[in-house]
Chains A and B, each alone.
Chain A
Amino acid sequence: KQEVTQIPAALSVPEGENLVLNCSFTDSAIYNLQWFRQDPGKGLTSLLLIQSSQREQTSGRLNASLDKSSGRSTLYIAASQPGDSATYLCAVCHYNQGGKLIFGQGTELSVKP
């Protein structure tokens, strides 16, 4: 059974810092991995999707990496801003489970001005 874990559960940093959020999964037979952002009480916004054959994806100040063999993904946020404050969720999609996403519990990020 696939389990997704995100560490840390919460993180507070001063504005301008570079930071890394971690995601680990127990079954490496994934089709892809997605990182999402969720503002309080809102839906999820897709940030990056990494296919199983890819090592990383970049979008603006965000860079996500994937190491399937070790069951790890990281989301790197450069030059953090107060507007980055949100909960970040990673989710894996399996080949043999259709489009079902299995989520971690998220990392709540607070960027202080």
Chain B
Amino acid sequence: DAGVTQSPTHLIKTRGQQVTLRCSPKSGHDTVSWYQQALGQGPQFIFQYYEEEERQRGNFPDRFSGHQFPNYSSELNVNALLLGDSALYLCASSWNYETQYFGPGTRLLVL
């Protein structure tokens, strides 16, 4: 059973560009959450998707948007990239409110 997978592993973009990150949840999980982790900090909650709808949202601007597909996989989109968006983006999947399993992350560098 594959765990949570994310793609790509690394990404380099320039300011103003747009980026799409992808996540496939662990088998049997229906909930996907996205987190941003800056260097030396704990992860910060971006949003959570359940049944293809955004169920919860953290304190992030509208430049951050997402989507969940019928197979429970998810995308995170960030528009108009800023230097401060450089971070490790983590996807986590779970069934209901139980243990969240994290993927390896996507390292985004904005130049």
Indicate if A25 sits at the interface (CB-CB under 8 A).
no
For chain B, give the interface size range.
20 to 34
Do A99 and B97 touch across chains, with their CB atoms under 8 A apart? Answer: yes
Indicate if A64 sits at the interface (CB-CB under 8 A).
no
Do B55 and A44 touch across chains, with their CB atoms under 8 A apart? Answer: no
Binding site for A on B (CB under 8 A): 4, 6, 31, 33, 35, 40-45, 48, 50, 55-56, 58, 88, 90, 92, 94, 96-105, 107
Knowing that A99-B55, A106-B42 are A-B contacts, what are 20 other residue pairs whose CB atoms are under 8 Å apart, sorted by A's residue number?
A34-B99, A43-B104, A44-B90, A44-B92, A44-B102, A46-B100, A49-B98, A49-B99, A91-B42, A98-B48, A99-B31, A99-B100, A100-B45, A100-B58, A101-B35, A101-B43, A101-B92, A103-B42, A103-B43, A105-B42
Chain B residue contacts of A100, Cβ below 8 A? 33, 45, 48, 56, 58
Chain A residue contacts of B31, Cβ below 8 A? 99
Do A97 and B102 touch across chains, with their CB atoms under 8 A apart? Answer: no
The 5 closest A-B pairs by CB, nearest first: A103-B42, A44-B102, A98-B56, A43-B104, A43-B102
Map CB proximity to B onto A94-113 as digits: 1 under 8 Å, 0 otherwise.
00011111111110000000
Closest approach, in angstroms, between the C-beta of B36 and any C-beta of chain A? 11
| Contact status of A101 and B100, CB under 8 A, knowing A43-B90, A44-B43, A89-B42 | yes
| Contact status of A99 and B99, CB under 8 A, knowing A42-B105, A104-B42, A105-B41 | no
CA distance A102 to B99 in the complex (A): 14
- Chain A: interface secondary structure? strand
Chain A residue contacts of B43, Cβ below 8 A? 44, 89, 91, 101, 103
Interface size, chain A (Cβ < 8 Å): 25
